Structure 1
Amino acid sequence: MGVSINWLKDYVNFTWTSQEVAHRLTMAGIAIDGVEKRADDSILELDLTPNRGDCLGVINLAREIAALNGTDISIPKIEMQENQEDVHDYISVEIADPDLCPRYTARMVKNIKIKPSPEWLQNKLLSCGINPINNIVDVTNFVMMESNQPLHAFDYDLLGEAKKIVVRRAMAGEKITTLDDVERELEADMLLITDNGRPVAIAGTMGGQNTEITDHTVNVLLESACFKGTSIRKTSKKLALRSDSSIRFEKGSDINGLIYAVNRAAALMQELGEGEVVAGICDCYPDPQPLPQVVLRPERVNYLLGISLSPAQITDYIEKLKFKWHEEEGNLLVTIPSYRPDIEMEVDLIEEVARLHGYEQIPATLPCGDTTQGGLTAYQKFKDRLKQLMTGTCYEIINYSFITPRYFDMLLLPSESNLRNIVRVANPLSEEQSVMRTLLLPGILDTVSRNLARKNSNLAFFEMGSVFYPQGEGLPVETLKLGAVVAGKLEMNWLKQEIDMDFYYLKGVLENLLCSLGIDHLMWVEANDQCYHPGRSAIVKSNDKILGIIGEIHPLVRQNFDIKPRACAFELDVDTLYELSHQRVMMEQITRYPAVERDLAIVVDEQVKAFDAIEVIRERGGELLQNTVVFDIYSGEQVPKGCKSMAIKMTFQSSERTLTESEVNTRIDEIMMGLKAKIQASLR
């Protein structure tokens, strides 16, 4: 858009050259793309940012120059003579869809004479790239360029007999022939101006040919309205019909500037067209809105800009913008004029202060703020250590936190499972990524499935990632988990031997991990989880705190994920691991004295777990007991029905002396007494 320097001088007094105006406006955020020199004028080519659509009006651009120059702006006064009639006797207005048209005003000008516009008016329009047509149409274009408020003029005598303007949504398939002589078919979401029957204009975009101003027009109805920008943008895009009016409505119009614009146009039509202005304005404004107010804190201005402005300097800049303000509890409560819809928050006002102060006046400083000295926190180091330990046996994978809800059915989770209590994504890319995961297992199994499909048969993966649980209206709870999976065989070594990566292999991996973290007193409690094989899964505990779960994947789950070989997995809570781990490694002196091994075979009820026996042995074995291993479980002919035999190897050792036979026997007797008392065991 081009703006004439001479036209700007009609509203604001300045002595800058056109190049100086361009430079000062550009430095203040109103970009000038170039200056075109003409015989007695210069044209500024504007390159506005989307939020400054107000500067499409010459008066508003003059306001910017006045603020930068510290001068006042002179807005033309409206002088016209109204007759004794009432506009409401000529026209009425109804807004059927106020969500798309919050305000609509109309004025009536009678007995006009259509003729060419005077030279001054034609020159101003030509400077903006608008071709003059006649005095009436030119006045509407002039006022639009001046005030940034699009207007439309109807031939009043061509409106329907009801003489009523109805602003409504179009009906699907409804048609109108616009001023460019093109018949257009409308959609149901497009806004129309109708004469209580037929369409006479596409709101904010283009008028209809059926009420066009012609050389025979005598009476004119002037429209000055406010339309919703998003609606106008969609309409103009669908119809491939973008006009100067639609551009301004798209960027936001001044709802409180309608009256000035329609009065200005009526006064000019009276002056240039010898028209008779009917008294009054038909103003339909169903829901008047107060001007917004924004609190501006002087200390916040200086904090964000990195400068030291006094409150007086800040208020001076606000007053140069002609914004009204008053002090409230040491802050400024600024009333934002309706022609500046871009100012919504405190930071927007701070930007205005920066623009008027001058960006070039703000010194360059290095960013400052609170920093953490010493690098990684203890928790970050712990996570890195976990990954380092896991890379000894598994490859790390990273999956999306977004998953498909189908996974929960594939995992055989019951409908009442807490893991189905999910956080849904508000704008998912697809159904496959529409919810946040509540466990790592589905992503890990999907990775196994894809690798098996590509002939990678021996797999060992781990992942450390967050899972998410809803928490009322607030943000979801985010918990860090560590998961691992193995399938297939351990790769062949130099002995030509392959080892199945089964439940016990993964259990050994987990035990080594926990041992490296200093987590002991492990308990393995039979799990009842639908994802895992019954009887081949366990809840892992330490000091009565649940660390996680380990087990062989249920055959039906494997089938759902198209995994043919057996697969085993575990999933642990990282925060619990961190809480129980020993951050300092404790070193123990290697004893010089020999160890004594004893095997013990006991008969217990078949429901007794091996762990129950080990717990009793550890409790009764005392400090001399170094290790306990169950190496055989047997049930058969030589064992009573309903019972089983456990063979347990115990290792005794002292760091101070060589143990005697009697010392070891005493411990064995103590252990056996405990086994009889706690689990009703008998010596086999």
Structure 2
Amino acid sequence: MFVSYKWLCEYVDLSGISAEELAEKITKSGIEVESVEVLNKGMKDVVIGHVLKKEQHPNADKLNKCLVDIGEEEPVQIICGAPNVDQGQKVAVAKVGAILPGNFKIKKAKLRGEESNGMICSLQELGIEGKLVPKEFADGIFVFPNDVEVGQDAIQQLNLDDQVLELGLTPNRSDCLSMIGVAHEVAAILNRNVKLPDPSFKTSDEKASDYISIKVEVIKDNPLYAARLIKNVKIAPSPLWMQSRLMAAGIRPHNNVVDITNYVLLEYGQPLHAFDYDRIGSKQILVRRANDGEQIVTLDDQKRELTNGHLVITNGTEPIALAGVMGGANSEVVNDTTTILLEAAYFNGQTIRKASKDHGLRSEASVRFEKGVDPNRVKMALERAAELISQLAGGEVLEGIVEVNHLEAQPKSINITVERINEVLGTSIEANEMVDIFNRLQFEVVEKEGTLTVTVPTRRGDIAIEEDLIEEVARLYGYDNLPTTLPVAPQTPGKLTIYQEKRRKVRQFLEGAGLYQAITYSLTSEEKAYRFALEKSELTRLALPMSEDRSVLRLSLIPHLLETAKHNRARQMEDVAVYEIGSVFIANDENEKPSEKERLAGVLTGIWQEHLWQGEKKQVDFFVVKGILDGLFDLLGLSGQIVYKQAKRDDMHPGRTAEIYLQEELIGFVGQLHPFVQKEYDLSETYVFELALAILLNKETAPVVYEPIPRFPSISRDIALVVDRNVSAGELEKAIVKAGGKLLKDVKVFDVYEGEHLEAGKKSVAFSLRYFDPERTLTDEDVMRAHEKVLSFVKEKFGATLRG
């Protein structure tokens, strides 16, 4: 809701309170003011000018040379390209030295050889959105009414010296979808009075009931329908003050009658609609449900097919409006309209919501009906609009309101004790102070022996129970004034679970290693769902998917991470290293609910390390990714239980992929994408991994044991073992560790050789072994005994021989 500060001043005395101060007070009372917009946007020296003379520019077909009186001693020459500029017009002129929005400064200039001393402005150039500018001025300059005075401040005349507060209303506060509703709120906050309009007008001797009758078939959908008939209306532009207020509220001006209905909608929060009486085609208004397949052309010139779920206003046979949403083109007020049927009604919010949603039409009217209008303000708004039409359009209001009224709108009465309010708020507010708060809200209240009986006006449909009254007391007492109290219940300090602590460590480690966290969709396409899945599963399909690309729940995190890498590389981000911790959804049957399992996945491509000074670059490869995972397993205390086994998996490179086992349980895989998949995603050499994170984090590990710095030296031995090519280095390392006993503290691979100096089908794997005893210095004999055990064991198990 956009609230004009100057307009609000007509209902509440805001003297001594700036727009910014008011915004802060409203926000502190529970309604967020999202912004305060200054409409003039820093403009100055823009005045009203009178075009005395207009002639064609001698050197340009689309420019005009204008002589303009701007209220100074001599008129000035201004070159203007607007197609609608003409002699005799009153226009907005930015003088030389003026500043327009965007800090645009106006200077003397020469255009095609002719001097220009200023600029004749359109509303868009004065900072008003194009969609709000009246259609007749959308493609040219704005023309003021003739009664404005030359030399006056154009900013003031256009109401651009105003400030607009944007309220971020929650759905329950529909009472503030009107200026009067906001005025009640502000008056309560400031403890000031509200000045409301008091409509009055003369009626003619003719009776409205002689011209129209009303029948409502669906009382539940439309318990109140009221109408007035107004004759001899003259359609013309509405006054400038009304146009400027509508534009400040985000509504485009049309003509005086339509603008009045919109103005009253903003003022009272009650939607109205004006029909051209002569175009209705009958003397009857029938409100009913539409027939299936029935059609109506609405004011936006769209043909809309109706169903029995939609409420329509008809002339007895043919729909002339989609009730509460938009009028029909067949009864629209046009330039030659002279007689108006003015409608004010109370429609069921759910019925209006359905029609609005079905047709994709969310109008200012439908929003208010959906959220709820004040039932006791329906006819008040009708009277206010009739008054304005008689004043601004010369209309003659016929005697009487024609109505069907089955609406029962009684204010709610709620009892609550002073003790209960103080107990909930933790305060000690006196009863008389609470009574004062409810009086400021204009709620009737009676206090008797500590019990308050509060009668809530119908404009506050959000208040129905005790807790709502407690909230009102808290709001106006001031949230800042509520004391700080602790809950009475027993408390335990909050902390992370062991699982959460470990997951946080995983994130910190990966980000410290240089990977960025990504968050991708849980929904994917059926084609991508099975790719890279760590375990087999049935797909979990959505009943009503947004699209085919988001129709099933994912089984792996990798496909969308690859999309992330592709997206970055398409924008010249060649080096990508991302990870994600998220859930996959595993189901044994299509009809059963899936179980959620947490996974960790990563995608790395491009340069991993670069030292420009040394001219060194390190591309991501298998061992970079494996090194990151080894560091992660070491952090979790699992490095001794992890085994990598070469594997072949779909979409992965057949020679550069390993499955990862925790003891004997498969927990993930790591490797390079298959070249075909890399090409599919337009990626260079790319490595991925995915781990069953829940298994890793739930695995119990031995507590960390700290050892003193060794006092005795260690002894290293290097061996090169010749084995069959299919024997992995990991298997050899595991065997060496097993055979080495307690003296063998460290084993590392430092070379692998295959070539002409070895037999066909053989390879050499070189290891560095470090022996150490923390209690004594080892002798060569000690090391030799342990070393011989290692050599004997690998020879027996793998047929390994020492390379000569």
* Per-residue Cα deviation, 1:214-236 (whole angstroms, up to 9, x for no partner): 9999xx99863336577999999
Query: Residues 505-544 of structure 1 correspond to what in structure 2 (within 5 A)?
Result: 506-507=625-626, 510-511=629-630, 519-521=638-640, 522-543=642-663
Residues 258 and 621 of structure 1, relative CA distance in 2, 3 Å threshold: same
- Confirm or deny: 8 A CA contact 2:554 2:585 kept in the other structure: no
> Matched residues in 2 for 1:298 and 1:470: separation?
47
Match of 1:166 in 2: 287
Q: What percentage of residue pairs aligned between the two structures are identical?
A: 21
Alignment gaps of 5+ in structure 1: 9-15, 34-44, 77-85, 117-124, 130-136, 179-183, 267-271
Match of 1:467 in 2: 582
> Matched residues in 1 for 2:343 and 2:635: separation?
84
Residues 28 and 292 of structure 1, relative CA distance in 2, 3 Å threshold: farther
Q: CA deviation at 1:555?
A: 2.5
> Matched residues in 2 for 1:557 and 1:619: separation?
40
> Matched residues in 1 for 2:688 and 2:400: separation?
88
Is 1:592 paired with 2:713? Answer: yes
- Confirm or deny: 8 A CA contact 2:287 2:314 kept in the other structure: yes
* Per-residue Cα deviation, 1:397-450 (whole angstroms, up to 9, x for no partner): 55553499479649954798559769999989x969998894257535863796
- Confirm or deny: 8 A CA contact 1:194 1:201 kept in the other structure: yes
Query: Residues 503-582 of structure 1 correspond to what in structure 2 (within 5 A)?
Result: 503-504=622-623, 506-507=625-626, 510-511=629-630, 519-521=638-640, 522-543=642-663, 548-563=668-683, 565=685, 567-572=686-691, 576=696
> Matched residues in 2 for 1:500 and 1:201: separation?
68
Residue 741 of structure 2: which of 614, 618, 622 is its match?
622
> Matched residues in 2 for 1:611 and 1:398: separation?
31
Match of 2:215 in 1: 92
- Confirm or deny: 8 A CA contact 1:172 1:187 kept in the other structure: no
Aligned-partner SS, 1:485: strand
Residues 221 and 502 of structure 1, relative CA distance in 2, 3 Å threshold: closer
Aligned-partner SS, 1:622: helix
* Per-residue Cα deviation, 1:525-582 (whole angstroms, up to 9, x for no partner): 33443232234322234555766422232232222123455x4444456773797698
- Confirm or deny: 8 A CA contact 1:440 1:481 kept in the other structure: no
Is 1:224 paired with 2:340? Answer: no
Aligned-partner SS, 1:188: strand
- Confirm or deny: 8 A CA contact 2:606 2:684 kept in the other structure: no
> Matched residues in 2 for 1:454 and 1:151: separation?
55
Q: CA deviation at 1:464?
A: 3.8
CA RMSD of aligned residues (A): 7.6
Q: What letter matches 1:194 in structure 2?
A: T
Aligned-partner SS, 1:529: coil
- Confirm or deny: 8 A CA contact 1:528 1:534 kept in the other structure: yes
> Matched residues in 2 for 1:284 and 1:207: separation?
26
Q: CA deviation at 1:175?
A: 5.4
Aligned-partner SS, 1:401: coil
Is 1:198 paired with 2:318? Answer: yes
Q: CA deviation at 1:331?
A: 12
Q: CA deviation at 1:615?
A: 3.0
- Confirm or deny: 8 A CA contact 1:402 1:434 kept in the other structure: no
> Matched residues in 2 for 1:156 and 1:71: separation?
40
> Matched residues in 1 for 2:763 and 2:337: separation?
114
* Per-residue Cα deviation, 1:360-415 (whole angstroms, up to 9, x for no partner): xx559999999999xx9887566444443x25xxxx45555349947964995479
Match of 2:304 in 1: 188
Residue 483 of structure 1: which of 596, 602, 606 is its match?
602
> Matched residues in 1 for 2:620 and 2:14: separation?
80
Residues 347 and 609 of structure 1, relative CA distance in 2, 3 Å threshold: farther
> Matched residues in 2 for 1:451 and 1:166: separation?
60
> Matched residues in 1 for 2:411 and 2:13: separation?
39
> Matched residues in 1 for 2:697 and 2:23: separation?
58
Q: What letter matches 2:580 in structure 1?
A: G
> Matched residues in 2 for 1:257 and 1:634: separation?
93
* Per-residue Cα deviation, 1:40-72 (whole angstroms, up to 9, x for no partner): xxxxx9978665656858699579858976999
Match of 2:565 in 1: 447
> Matched residues in 1 for 2:177 and 2:801: separation?
97
Q: CA deviation at 1:352?
A: 3.3
- Confirm or deny: 8 A CA contact 2:537 2:586 kept in the other structure: no
- Confirm or deny: 8 A CA contact 1:402 1:435 kept in the other structure: no
- Confirm or deny: 8 A CA contact 1:421 1:469 kept in the other structure: no
Residue 429 of structure 2: which of 286, 309, 312 is its match?
309
Residues 342 and 586 of structure 1, relative CA distance in 2, 3 Å threshold: farther
Match of 2:97 in 1: none
Residues 517 and 185 of structure 1, relative CA distance in 2, 3 Å threshold: closer
Q: CA deviation at 1:253?
A: 1.7
- Equivalent pairs counted in the alignment come to 599
Residue 664 of structure 1: which of 762, 770, 784 is its match?
784
* Per-residue Cα deviation, 1:502-529 (whole angstroms, up to 9, x for no partner): 4356545654665577653231133443
Match of 1:105 in 2: 224
> Matched residues in 2 for 1:47 and 1:500: separation?
56
* Per-residue Cα deviation, 1:110-158 (whole angstroms, up to 9, x for no partner): xx99999xxxxxxxx9xx99xxxxxxx9xx9999999765667999999
> Matched residues in 2 for 1:208 and 1:253: separation?
26
Residues 166 and 675 of structure 1, relative CA distance in 2, 3 Å threshold: farther
Aligned-partner SS, 1:615: helix
* Per-residue Cα deviation, 1:283-340 (whole angstroms, up to 9, x for no partner): 468x99997999997469747xxx753677547634764669999xx99998965422
> Matched residues in 2 for 1:155 and 1:49: separation?
34
> Matched residues in 2 for 1:57 and 1:488: separation?
61
* Per-residue Cα deviation, 1:628-666 (whole angstroms, up to 9, x for no partner): 467668899999x9x978767555444423334476346
TM-score, scaled to structure 1: 0.57
> Matched residues in 2 for 1:326 and 1:546: separation?
73
Q: What letter matches 1:555 in structure 2?
A: P
Q: CA deviation at 1:193?
A: 1.5
* Per-residue Cα deviation, 1:149-181 (whole angstroms, up to 9, x for no partner): 5667999999877956134569897458x9xxx
Q: CA deviation at 1:92?
A: 3.0
> Matched residues in 2 for 1:498 and 1:54: separation?
63
Q: CA deviation at 1:672?
A: 3.6
Aligned-partner SS, 2:304: coil
Q: CA deviation at 1:622?
A: 0.8
> Matched residues in 1 for 2:332 and 2:681: separation?
68
> Matched residues in 2 for 1:206 and 1:418: separation?
54
> Matched residues in 2 for 1:553 and 1:28: separation?
59
> Matched residues in 2 for 1:158 and 1:454: separation?
62
Q: What letter matches 2:652 in structure 1?
A: Y
Q: What letter matches 1:226 in structure 2?
A: F
Q: CA deviation at 1:195?
A: 2.1
- Confirm or deny: 8 A CA contact 2:740 2:786 kept in the other structure: no
TM-score, scaled to structure 2: 0.50
> Matched residues in 1 for 2:654 and 2:384: separation?
85
> Matched residues in 2 for 1:113 and 1:561: separation?
68
Aligned-partner SS, 1:443: helix
